[in-house]
């Protein structure tokens, strides 16, 4: 058991946002902390510890009013690469770590000198998975935010990077890796003003979903109905004016 005040969040935590911890805090307040927090001793700061795994749990414990928390102290992880690897593995095993966060962590590991094969071996990821995540690092900031928000699928983003690499090879004879690639989000997605109506209408489970909302036929039906003023007096979409 360690005082919560003695624990410090890791500055290179692969999970950039702990998200909503209200339910977790309520559960801990009711049942206590079931899964210990993994920490390591801070060099040159006796009695202080750096959190390696359990940042959300630590924040939830703080909100729940706990003063001490159960911890596992790791003495075998003295380097930053060890920290990042442990955090990446722990988050991938326990939670749905976002693809952009995974890609960031992999980039940091490779910046520290690990090869793609070493990242795959140490994290337990397949080499093709590591290679696919590396592609995400070549997106520009706006496209990265769109991937995080779900406006652009990971597959669409990766395909855009592959196409840019291929175009670079044709232009220059060598792919210009590392140059930011911009991907435009699809027009028909969840933020579309008619998306809710399409989603309510579409119950075609075997058809591909356009923008993860509804099938193409249901999109067309809702757009035509809206054009005739049949949805709330007519919610005009960009698709109507462009057609």
Let me know: does 63 contact 25? Beta carbons within 8 Å. yes
pLDDT in tens, the chain (243 residues): 999 989 988 877 766 677 778 888 888 888 888 888 888 888 777 788 888 888 888 889 999 989 999 998 888 777 777 777 777 776 665 555 678 888 887 887 787 777 888 888 877 778 888 888 888 888 888 888 888 777 778 888 888 888 887 777 776 655 555 556 666 566 667 778 888 888 888 888 777 778 778 888 888 888 878 777 766 544 444 444 444
Q: Which residues contact 220 (CB under 8 A, 6 or more apart)?
A: none
CA dihedral 150, 152, 154, 159 (to 10 degrees): 180
Let me know: does 52 contact 38? Beta carbons within 8 Å. yes
Long-range CB contacts (within 8 A, 24+) of 214-221: 219/188, 219/194
Q: Please identify which residue in the block is written with the tokens 């049942």.
A: 31
* Closest of 132, 134, 110, 111 to residue 122, by C-alpha: 110
User: Cα(99)–Cα(137) distance, rounded to whole angstroms?
Assistant: 10
* Closest of 18, 31, 104 to residue 66, by C-alpha: 31
* Residue 243: per-residue pLDDT: 41
β partners of residue 8 = 50
This prediction has a pTM of: 0.45
CA dihedral 96, 99, 101, 102 (to 10 degrees): 90
Let me know: does 20 contact 55? Beta carbons within 8 Å. no
Which domains, from first to last, does the chain contain? 2-133 (3.90.1530.10), 195-242 (no CATH)
User: Cα(195)–Cα(86) distance, rounded to whole angstroms?
Assistant: 40
Long-range CB contacts (within 8 A, 24+) of 18-24: 18/55, 18/56, 18/59, 19/56, 21/56, 21/59, 21/60, 21/63, 22/63, 24/56, 24/57, 24/60
């Amino acid at each position: 058991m360690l005082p919560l005040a003695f624990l410090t969040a890791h500055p290179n935590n692969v999970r950039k946002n702990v998200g909503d911890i209200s339910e977790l805090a309520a559960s801990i307040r009711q049942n206590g902390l079931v899964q210990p927090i993994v920490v390591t001793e801070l060099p040159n700061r006796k009695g202080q510890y750096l959190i390696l795994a359990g940042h959300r749990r630590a924040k939830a414990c703080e909100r729940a009013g706990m003063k001490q928390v159960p911890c596992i102290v790791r003495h075998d992880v003295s380097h930053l690469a060890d920290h990042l690897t442990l955090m990446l593995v722990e988050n991938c095993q326990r939670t749905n770590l976002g693809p952009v966060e995974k890609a960031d962590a992999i980039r940091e590991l490779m910046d520290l000198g690990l090869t793609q094969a070493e990242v795959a071996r140490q994290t337990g990821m397949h080499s093709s998975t590591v290679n696919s995540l590396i592609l995400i690092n070549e997106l520009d900031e706006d496209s990265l935010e769109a991937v995080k928000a779900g406006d652009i699928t990971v597959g669409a983003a990766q395909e855009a990077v592959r196409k840019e690499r291929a175009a670079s090879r044709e232009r220059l004879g060598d792919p210009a890796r590392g140059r930011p690639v911009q991907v435009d989000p699809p027009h028909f997605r969840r933020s579309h003003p008619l998306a809710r109506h399409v989603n309510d209408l579409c119950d075609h489970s075997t058809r591909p979903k356009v923008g993860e909302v509804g099938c193409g036929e249901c999109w067309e039906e809702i757009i035509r109905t809206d054009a005739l003023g049949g949805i709330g007096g007519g919610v005009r979409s960009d698709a109507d004016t462009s057609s």
